[in-house]
Amino acid sequence: TKTIREALEEVVPRKQLQLKQLKTEHSQAVLGEVTVENVVGGMRGLKAMLWEASVLDPIEGIRFHGLAIPDCQKQLPAAPGGKEIIAESMFWLLLTGKVPTEAETRQLSRELAEKGDLPEYIEKLIDSLLARLPALAARIYRNVYNPGKPIPAINKDLDLVGNYVNMLGFGDNHDLTEYMRLYIAIHGDHEGGNASAHTTHLVGSTLADPFISYSAALYALAGPLHGLANQEVLRWQMNMQKEIGDEITHDKIKEFLWKTLKSGQVVPGYGHGVLRNPDPRFMALQQFCESRPQLLDDRVIQLVRKTYEVAPAVLKEHGKTKNPYPNVDATSGCVLYHYGLTQFKYYTVIFGVSRALGCLTQLVWARALGLPIERPKSLSMDAIEKLIKN
């Protein structure tokens, strides 16, 4: 059984060599062209960033080192007594590119639980942040919503998310624990260009420490077009429920969707900067609901499902968004709500605990490969016009 350090040590020299070869043999190779649309359109589509752990295909969705979410669900070890992927097995895959064995996963759980004896260069990057993040996020939750109640100590025999749910005060809810394991594993990374990942990378490229780099990312995650969307979705769904009453019909949902769009708002949970199909993370969370009859009886969960049946056609007719399909946020909050984690404001914090997996993985790689400070060239509109004329 390898430790995560040993697994990483095997990969680092190979990747360092790969980067060296790219730099020496192919540094002038052209990867694409830069158009005015790229520059004025938020850099969408511009291939301008190195990111190792995941690649987002517009149609198939996210792949972690080539593995799609259903592959991860088949191959990555779950918690003892559980079925869903856990953060540790996902983190191992993201960091090393390899599927860990069950024993390696358990060992990483224990190392994190004990804030283990990791070597110094990755200790700073992984152990000091990743292992403590659930406890920190749980303390915030308990202080804000349940002040005065004691927080249970970390159980060294439990996985990271098992401990997190326990500290949040829901440890006896096995289904919520399993949901959170799946949620946190599949939100772990989504390529490098999304706002939070890119922020970590940019700030980290100044050699700011991981706490500062990831704190900056959380501010990006807090925007309603990014991580805050998951709480916005639930608020919006509940307003819809209030307005349309007990009898949920496709026509009533359609009417509500049009009302949202005509008021100039976006439909939260729909659309994406890269994806052009229903998000496989949305599908994985929907499948979780379908395997549990009590979730299917929940009215908000039914409303999410029914909205999915009509929203893509409405958004196509509206004609603006390039992707009329749901992203993961369209469904993630309603299941938390069902299980009693009803404080919307906290949902983006859970996303933040999860996204640390991918962002910190890339920080490790940025350090291991000695990537330079990020510094793209900016252009004024006058400069763009001059370049076009030439």
User: Residue numbers of the site for ligand FAM (CB under 6 A)?
Assistant: 225-227, 229, 261, 266-273, 320-323, 327, 329
Nearer to ligand FAM by Cβ, of 90 and 108: the residue is: 90
Catalytic residue among 198, 226, 279, 338: 226
CB of residue 266 to ligand FAM, shortest distance in Å:
4
Catalytic residue among 190, 201, 272, 338: 272
CB of residue 318 to ligand FAM, shortest distance in Å:
6
CB of residue 26 to ligand FAM, shortest distance in Å:
30
- For residue 330, which amino acid is it? A
Cα 226 to Cα 132: distance, rounded to the nearest angstrom: 24
Nearer to ligand FAM by Cβ, of 210 and 268: the residue is: 268
The two three-digit tokens of residue 216, written as one number: 């900056």
Give the DSSP letter string of 109-144.
Answer: HHHHHTT----HHHIIIIIHHHTTHHHHHHHHHHHH
Nearer to ligand FAM by Cβ, of 244 and 261: the residue is: 261
CB of residue 40 to ligand FAM, shortest distance in Å:
12
**Residue 86 and residue 181 in contact, taking contact as beta carbons nearer than 8 Å:** yes
Taking CB atoms, the residue at the shortest distance from ligand FAM is 271
Provide the CA 46 distance to its chain's centre, in angstroms. 21
Name the residue with tokens 């999860």: 354
Nearer to ligand FAM by Cβ, of 47 and 149: the residue is: 47
**Residue 331 and residue 283 in contact, taking contact as beta carbons nearer than 8 Å:** no
Catalytic residue among 159, 201, 329, 338: 329
Provide the CA 348 distance to its chain's centre, in angstroms. 10
Pairing relationship of beta strands 67-68 and 61-64 according to DSSP bridges: antiparallel
**Residue 273 and residue 194 in contact, taking contact as beta carbons nearer than 8 Å:** yes
CB of residue 333 to ligand FAM, shortest distance in Å:
11
Query: Active site includes 329?
Result: yes
Cα 278 to Cα 271: distance, rounded to the nearest angstrom: 9
Nearer to ligand FAM by Cβ, of 77 and 324: the residue is: 324
Query: Active site includes 226?
Result: yes
The set of catalytic residues is 226, 272, 329
